[in-house]
Chain A
């Protein structure tokens, strides 16, 4: 019977092409606008590393001499001297210190390749293992390379394509500022969204192009203040790099991977003991208050998952509502025009249920076509957004399979919900009054 209703739906669409087209366009515009904004919001709130997010913690230490923010919140960075102490622990499965610098990158001898100023991630050797970073060629640097501050680098796929035409560049060298660095690995596509491991203002920016050992940054005294969250609550003795390293300035992000509760508790004790030890040396003046902030909580606390995008979704949903209300009035007009046919079908034996089913299928077809067109509009909207906000992560502007299917489903369901009144009104039509109007 449903195939019969489907056939009738197609006939009906052919009979009133303009009205049907208007309904489809109305649904498509509403769905397109809603899904464009929803996609961005949805992608922003995804778990960036679902296999591990439960085991990843950001280390936050209260080494300040006054109450920070509300007293419960701590800076997301810690001082270099604390980093040095924490890196000695073997409790975490992995631990990572990271910062960022900006540097000019050039090909070693090919002058045709224009130099670029890239954001460089400086980190420790566990980074690639801890964050499940995929490699196309080579691998990350060893712990020893890290300790030795080797001038080695891991390139992103994009950087490798730019600098080495996408070839296996492991072993090749390039200019990193004035120095020469050797490529040790090339990443495959890796765009965790949000870019959770970095500073909160980088969360939706493009992935880093180059990774170098943290100690290499230190050894070469490289700093880019605008890429750091340098919380200097107590000024260093002087402006030298060496003074920064021994100061209370908090500028290094520190993550640990703790596989179970036991190691979590052990590590908490470890950092508390470290704080107590430092306290005896005159640091950590106020209290012993150190946090292992779970990744998901970190994303919420730092408002990386923000309410602004949700507001945009609500506004778009309101727009969809207006479109659907307009569509509803067109549905009423459409079914009114079919009153003669309804009367006839009722006379020859169609029950109210049969009429409801017939028109529900018709609206589903309209909703489905509107959904497909809306999907196209949403994808165009996302392409436009990606072009306008090119500095943002491209993954934000891409629909996954769930969202693609959800778009069409939303169109069909909303068509049916808003078609409910016109359909029921049509099914309750007094058949005898309409038999002369066919």
Chain B
């Protein structure tokens, strides 16, 4: 589903070149749950942005669903993000002036679904995260855990192939974090791939693959929890 070959990312400002990600190979199959771990500033978010087509890579090959994304126009990239990728952010990124229903509706609007189809998907997603009864509430009326559930509902409403989660439990207490992890695992069990950046080794260990990024170098472990700990 996701294939990166000799992929690298460098930032060039003035005469200074900073290698954010050194060349690496990575393949993620449909239905996998992959954790990305590493210290702050190691390149985790850059990796996630490239994977989510929010940033361009400098070199190498990136194929998403067997399509080389380097040749995509902005419109095609946007359509791919909309159809194939769901984003979950550490700070939820809900729009405060829109109610839960309209927040979840946002990606569906760009999909040109009709009203009935959008309604069906929004309600399904809100039910899945247990907030269908509060669809008319506004984000500020919810707890952090509930806000993140809404963000997850927004990510899954478009039935993407993969969810990219950037420290989804980073702003939550442990109980709420547990709930979110459980929700992500349920979504994964239903067939959606999940790539999750986290600082929390315990949460990372709940994935079926772990990738570590350190100083821009990406290395992969399979069920090697000790190596990470």
Q: How far is the CA of A431 from the CA of B164 in the complex (A)?
A: 15
Q: Are B75 and A353 in contact (CB under 8 A)?
A: yes
Contact of A351 among B78, B93, B107, B109 (CB under 8 A): B78
Task: List A318-363 residues whose CB lies under 8 Å from chain B.
Answer: 340-341, 344-354
Q: Which of B49-57, B173-181, B201-209 contacts A (4 or more CB under 8 A)?
A: B49-57
A85 interface hit (Cβ, 8 Å): no
Closest chain-A Cβ to B84's Cβ sits at a distance in Å of 10
- Are the CB atoms of B54 and A347 closer together than 8 Å? yes
Report the nearest B residue to A431, measured CB to CB: B54
Evaluate whether A349 and B95 lie within 8 angstroms (CB atoms) in the complex, with A354-B78, A430-B55 already known: no
Q: Are A15 and B97 neighbours in the complex by a CB distance under 8 Å?
A: yes
Q: A347-B54, A349-B82, A431-B54 are in contact. Are A354 and B95 (CB under 8 A)?
A: no
Q: A11 on the interface (CB 8 Å rule)?
A: yes
What's the tally of chain A residues with a CB closer than 8 Å to chain B? 24
**Is there contact, CB below 8 Å, between A11 and B98?**
yes
**Contact of B89 with A354 in the complex, beta carbons under 8 Å:** no
From A345, A352, A436, B106 is in contact (CB under 8 Å) with: A345
Contacting A at CB under 8 A, from B11-58, are: 45, 49, 52, 54-55
CA of A403 to CA of B90, assembled, Å: 53
Asked whether A1 lies within 8 Å of B95 as measured between CB atoms, the reply is no
Residues in B neighbouring A435, C-beta threshold 8 A: 54, 89, 93
Contacts of A354 in B (CB 8 A): 78, 110
Closest B residue to A8 by beta carbon equals B98
Within 8 Å of chain A (Cβ to Cβ): is B223?
no
**Docked complex: A281-332 residues within 8 A CB-CB of B:** none
Q: In whole angstroms, how far apart are the Cα atoms of A430 and B74 in the complex?
A: 12
User: Contact flags (1/0) for B81-102 with A, using CB distance below 8 Å?
Assistant: 1110001011101110110000
| A432 in the interface (beta carbon within 8 A) | yes
Q: Is B74's CB under 8 angstroms from A352's CB?
A: yes
Which of the residues A15, A349, A436 comes within 8 Å of B78, measured between beta carbons?
A: A349
Contact partner, A348, options B74, B90, B107, Cβ 8 Å: B107
Question: In the complex, which residues of chain A have a beta carbon less than 8 angstroms from the beta carbon of B55?
Answer: 430, 432
Nearest chain A CB to B10 CB, angstrom units: 16
A345 to chain B: closest residue by CB: B106
- Pick from B78, B79, B94, B111: contact of A346, CB under 8 Å: B78
Contact check, A349 vs B110: say whether CB atoms are below 8 A apart.
Answer: yes
The answer, yes or no, to whether B226 is at the interface (CB within 8 Å) is no
The docked-state distance in angstroms from the alpha carbon of A191 to that of B104 is 62
Question: Inside 8 A of A380's CB, which chain B residues have their CB?
Answer: none
When the two chains form their complex, are residues B95 and A344 in contact, meaning their CB atoms are under 8 A apart? yes
Q: How far is the CA of A50 from the CA of B27 in the complex (A)?
A: 78
Q: Which residue of chain B has the shortest Cβ distance to A350 in the bound complex? A: B110
Report the contact-size class of chain B (Cβ under 8 Å from the partner). 20 to 34
A438: which of B75, B91, B106 is its contact (CB, 8 Å)? Answer: B91
User: Are A351 and B74 in contact, CB atoms less than 8 angstroms apart?
Assistant: yes
Given known A-B contacts A4-B109, A432-B55, A348 and B82 have beta carbons under 8 A apart: yes
Instruction: Give a binary string over A3-28; 1 marks a CB under 8 Å from any B CB, 0 the rest.
Output: 01000000100110000000000000
Which of B54, B82, B91, B107 is A436 in contact with, Cβ under 8 Å? B91
Residues of A within 8 A of B45 (CB): 432
Report the bound CA distance from A29 to B49 in whole Å: 45
Smallest beta-carbon distance B178→chain A, Å: 24
Are B54 and A432 neighbours in the complex by a CB distance under 8 Å?
yes
For A430, give the chain B residue with the smallest CB separation.
B55
Q: Which residues from A are CB-within-8-Å of B112?
A: 1
Return B172 CB to nearest CB of chain A, in Å: 17
B residues within 8 A CB of A349? Answer: 78-79, 81-83, 107, 110-111, 158
Give chain A nearest CB distance to B22 CB in angstroms.
19
CB distance from B109 to the nearest CB of A (A): 6
Distance A346 CA – B106 CA, assembled complex (angstroms)? 11
- In the complex, the answer to whether B75 meets A347 with C-beta atoms within 8 Å is no
Q: Which residues of B contact A340 (CB under 8 A)?
A: 93
Cβ distance B95 to chain A, nearest Cβ, rounded Å: 6
In the assembly, what is the distance between CA of A4 and CA of B108, in Å? 12
Chain B positions within 8 Å of A348 at CB level: 81-82, 87, 106-107, 110, 154
B89 touches A1 (CB 8 A): no
A438 lies within 8 A of B93 (CB): yes
Give the shortest distance, in Å, between A101 (CB) and chain B (any CB): 71
CA distance A351 to B74 in the complex (A): 6
Who on chain A is nearest to B78 by CB? A351
Proximity bits, A411-438, B CB within 8 Å = 1, else 0: 0000000000000000000111001101
Question: Which of B52, B94, B95, B97 contacts A347 (CB under 8 A)?
Answer: B52
- A351: B residues at CB distance < 8 A: 74-75, 78-79, 110
Q: How far is the CA of A435 from the CA of B75 in the complex (A)?
A: 19
Interface set, chain A 235-288, CB cutoff 8 A to B: none
Give 9 CB contacts A-B under 8 Å: A4-B109, A345-B110, A346-B78, A349-B78, A349-B111, A351-B110, A354-B78, A436-B89, A436-B91
Chain B residues near A (Cβ < 8 Å): 45, 49, 52, 54-55, 74-75, 78-79, 81-83, 87, 89-91, 93-95, 97-98, 106-107, 109-112, 154, 158
A436-B89, A436-B90, A438-B95 given; name 6 further pairs at CB < 8 Å: A347-B54, A348-B81, A431-B54, A432-B55, A435-B54, A438-B91
* Shortest beta-carbon contacts, A-B, top 10: A349-B82, A351-B78, A348-B107, A432-B54, A349-B110, A432-B49, A438-B93, A351-B75, A432-B55, A344-B93
